[in-house]
Chains A and B, each alone.
Chain A
Amino acid sequence: NAGVTQTPKFRVLKTGQSMTLLCAQDMNHEYMYWYRQDPGMGLRLIHYSVGEGTTAKGEVPDGYNVSRLKKQNFLLGLESAAPSQTSVYFCASRTPTNEKLFFGSGTQLSVL
Chain B
Amino acid sequence: GNSVTQMEGPVTLSEEAFLTINCTYTATGYPSLFWYVQYPGEGLQLLLKATKADDKGSNKGFEATYRKETTSFHLEKGSVQVSDSAVYFCALSPTGRGADGLTFGKGTHLIIQP
Contacts and interface: CB of A to CB of B under 8 A. Distances in A.
A101 B44 contact: yes
Nearest to A42: B106
B39 to A, nearest CB: 10
Q: How large is the interface on A (under 10, 10 to 19, 20 to 34, 35 or more residues)?
A: 20 to 34
A4 B101 CA distance: 16
Contact of A104 (B34, B43, B102, B106): B43
A68 to B, nearest CB: 12
Interface string A93-111: 0001001110111100000
Main secondary structure of the interface of A (DSSP, over half): strand
A40 B42 CA distance: 18
Interface string B38-54: 00011111100100000
A33 interface: yes
A50 B46 contact: no
Interface in B66-114: 89, 93, 98-102, 104-107
B22 interface: no
A31 B93 CA distance: 14
Interface in A16-64: 31, 33, 35, 40-45, 48, 50, 56, 58
Nearest to B43: A103
Contact of A90 (B44, B105, B106): B44
B58 interface: no
A31 B99 contact: yes
Contact of A106 (B32, B43, B100, B106): B43
A101 B102 contact: yes
A45 B44 CA distance: 14
B15 interface: no
Contacts of A48: 99-101
20 contacts: A33-B101, A35-B101, A40-B106, A42-B106, A43-B44, A45-B101, A48-B100, A50-B99, A58-B101, A90-B44, A92-B101, A96-B98, A100-B46, A100-B49, A101-B36, A101-B101, A103-B44, A105-B41, A105-B42, A106-B43
Interface of B: 8, 32, 34, 36, 41-46, 49, 89, 93, 98-102, 104-107
